[in-house]
Amino acid sequence: MHYRFYVWRYVREILYGLRAIRGVKKGTARTELPSVRVIRADGPERYNALVEFYARNPSPFLGAPKTRRQLETRLRKGVQFFLSYTDEGEVVCASGFWPEKAMLTHVCTDYRFRGQGYLLASASQIIDILASAGFKEVNSNARSSNKPLLRVAERQGWKVRPHPINKRLVRLTLQINAEKS
């Protein structure tokens, strides 16, 4: 029953737009990013918060772990997860990173905080963490229909290319050393 509510909420957002549900003013210009604290999910209580977050924000496009078993499978494959918290301690974003492919994956923002810059603030901190770990390039995939994300990504220096396999996706690539030098 709880899951159905979030699925229905997601469908309403698609059908009627975000303004009809939350009264959010889309396209508002921001001069500064919101304050977030990015923490690596590395313990049982953080794993529980991660699974709860992904289950609370269902998306048919996101293959994120929604159960503890799915999370453990991804952890065994080497995926590292990050949680982003507001100053009040609420989880606003979650994302995974696959080190062997240098791939940022399972990126998700809580529905209540979309369009407010939290994903951008979180991603920039995660990229700083990866740069300090020695990564020179980071990749990610996005839906080609997600125009707002693609516009922001291009402004932040990500190169957008067609996905090599799936025509509905695009491949995003960021050269970290070029940004940091």
Closest C-alpha among 32, 33, 24, 67 to residue 48: 67
Confidence of residue 58 (pLDDT cuts 50, 70, 90): confident
Distance of alpha carbon 122 from alpha carbon 168, whole angstroms: 25
Which architecture characterizes domain 2-180 according to CATH? 3-Layer(aba) Sandwich (3.40)
- Using an 8 Å Cβ cutoff, are 88 and 45 in contact? no
Q: Strand order in 91-98's β-sheet?
A: 37-40, 80-85, 91-98, 103-109, 137-143, 169-175, 159-162
Supply the pTM of this predicted model.
0.77
139-157 residue pLDDT tens: 999 999 988 889 989 988 9
Q: Please report, for the chain, the start and end positions of each structural domain, with discontinuous segments joined by +.
A: 2-180
110-138 residue pLDDT tens: 988 988 889 889 999 999 999 999 999 99
